[in-house]
Amino acid sequence: MTQNLKYENDTLVTGQAIQSDAEVAGTSLLFTDSDVDEISLYITWSNQTSWQGCECYVIDPDGNYHYVFNAGSLPFGSGQRADVFVITAASGNFPYTQDGTWEFYLEDQMYNTCNIIQVRVTVKCTDANMPATHNEISWYGGGWYRGGVDLSNNQNHVYPYNNATIVGDTGSNGANAFSFSSASSQRWSDGIIADYNNEPQWSVSAWVKPDQNTAFKQVIFCNHGYVRGNFQLYQSYDEFGLFLGYFDPTYNSGDSETIVSTNTNITAGDWYNVVATFDGNANPKLNLFVDGVAASVSRTTGGNGLTTMPDNSYAGTAPDQTIGAMKQANSSTIHYPFDGSVDACRTVNSVYTSEDVSWLSSGRDSAGGPVVFKPYFIPQNQTAGMFQ
């Protein structure tokens, strides 16, 4: 499968000789350098006088110069345009280092004013270990990269904090997994994901290998900032649970839905597939499956309950989507760190069918899906990337 990892800067820059930078991060997490096929340098810009007197070049992290266009090479036009220069191994000047600052320079040599509207670096990579995607909102796994590359189309990836790692683990047909120690408050964090806000249907799935079953709460996967967010998939002692909702500290209240298994009896060191679904118009609204089987559960409604997924921002601050812990949205405080391994975290804005649940529990990092696979049924691969 091929992905385009995208890194862009949308800051408007105006002047006669101007610069805009794109920061690239994460290509060092590819399994091998040979995964990178080409690098494309995009610039969207404008000049209201004439394009022909303008020149653009890019300096990569190794200090190499790449000319997108030279003065005199463009027509006598004006206004906005987009240009691209593609670097391949065959073309030469391929940078040894892709991570770092890519500096875009634009100059009007006739001393007129030009504008940089957007610059973007796209890293094209191909790896047979990357499975096909099926319209997930997010999908993170350790099986195709050392880094938490998201194979969905939300244009974000998770990155390690506090020395969180990915380790080899072949249990349940896996390859690698996110590894956590609660003592170090380790986590893998994505950016802000607003795709679930106010959705009437939603589902989550993750593979989990707990290292202990004595903590009151350990967050497996969440998009929650402690007082405001969408969801928390968690382990409580030797059971699994899902919390949807928020808490408003001003009014000391909140609307929520919670479901917790009652007889899973988690064994430390074993892999489990955990799936939870939400349908705001159904009764019950939440369902929980462990290893493909509907779990015995307890359900709790807080406040007025929920008919849609809650909005994930509180007082204008939205949380990061995180694996292995919860990060408070408006500070660096970490809550409920996890002990153990997590893999194949997925979310969709639909309700998983029974066929989906069976397939998801059939093995970590699965590439296909049942024939019906109703929430998705996308016949082609999606691209992934990260915007900065």
Question: Is the pLDDT reported for residue 371 higher than 50?
Answer: no
Question: Is the pLDDT reported for residue 386 higher than 70?
Answer: no
Is 64 or 252 the better-scoring residue by pLDDT? 64
pLDDT band at 373; cut points 50, 70, 90: very low
CA nearest 107: which of 14, 12, 239? 14
User: Which pLDDT score is estimated for 309?
Assistant: 93
pLDDT band at 185; cut points 50, 70, 90: confident
Do 178 and 151 share a structural domain? Answer: yes
22 domain-assigned: yes
87 domain-assigned: yes
Question: Is the pLDDT reported for residue 150 higher than 80?
Answer: no
Considering 103, 126, 149, which residue would you say is the last residue of a domain? Answer: 126
Do 236 and 100 share a structural domain? Answer: no
pLDDT band at 193; cut points 50, 70, 90: confident
Question: Is the pLDDT reported for residue 3 higher than 80?
Answer: no
- The burial of 362, by beta-carbon neighbours within 10 Å (0-12 exposed, 13-18 middle, 19 or more buried), is given as middle
Question: Is the pLDDT reported for residue 64 higher than 60?
Answer: yes
286-287-291 Cα angle (round to 5):
150
286 domain-assigned: yes
pTM: 0.70
Residue with token string 């249990």: 171
Do 42 and 155 share a structural domain? Answer: no
Q: For residue 8, what are the contacts with CB-CB under 8 A and spacing of at least 6? A: 22, 42, 118, 119, 120, 121, 387, 388
CA distance to 152, 175, 205, 229, 244, per residue, from 308 (Å): 22, 35, 19, 13, 10
CATH code of the domain containing 334: 2.60.120.200
Do 116 and 68 share a structural domain? Answer: yes
User: Which pLDDT score is estimated for 158?
Assistant: 77
**Domain total for the chain?**
2
Do 333 and 242 share a structural domain? Answer: yes
| pLDDT (average), residues 348-360 | 87
pLDDT band at 315; cut points 50, 70, 90: low
User: Which pLDDT score is estimated for 29?
Assistant: 61
Do 320 and 180 share a structural domain? Answer: yes
Question: Is the pLDDT reported for residue 234 higher than 90?
Answer: yes
Is 155 or 57 the better-scoring residue by pLDDT? 57
Do 122 and 244 share a structural domain? Answer: no
User: Which pLDDT score is estimated for 248?
Assistant: 65
Question: Is the pLDDT reported for residue 166 higher than 60?
Answer: yes
pLDDT digits (tens, 9 = 90+) for 257-290: 999 999 999 999 999 999 999 999 999 999 999 9
Do 117 and 212 share a structural domain? Answer: no
| pLDDT (average), residues 195-224 | 94
Is 119 or 5 the better-scoring residue by pLDDT? 119
Is 200 or 246 the better-scoring residue by pLDDT? 200
367 domain-assigned: no
Mean pLDDT of the chain: 84
pLDDT band at 387; cut points 50, 70, 90: very low
Domain that holds residue 104: 2-126
Do 272 and 211 share a structural domain? Answer: yes
386 domain-assigned: no
| pLDDT (average), residues 250-256 | 74
Is 155 or 99 the better-scoring residue by pLDDT? 99
User: Which pLDDT score is estimated for 375?
Assistant: 36
317 domain-assigned: yes
Least confident piece of the model among 57-71, 128-142, 292-306: 128-142
Do 264 and 238 share a structural domain? Answer: yes
pLDDT band at 250; cut points 50, 70, 90: low
CATH code of the domain containing 100: 2.60.120.260
74-75-78 Cα angle (round to 5):
100
Do 166 and 110 share a structural domain? Answer: no
- Identify residue 105 by its one-letter amino acid code: Y
| pLDDT (average), residues 122-140 | 69
Question: Is the pLDDT reported for residue 148 higher than 60?
Answer: no
Question: Is the pLDDT reported for residue 175 higher than 90?
Answer: no
313 domain-assigned: yes
User: Which pLDDT score is estimated for 165?
Assistant: 85
Which range of 4-8, 123-127, 156-160, 212-216 scores highest in mean pLDDT? It is 212-216
CA distance to 22, 76, 101, per residue, from 89 (Å): 21, 33, 20
379 domain-assigned: no
pLDDT digits (tens, 9 = 90+) for 6-21: 788 999 999 999 999 9
Do 327 and 252 share a structural domain? Answer: yes
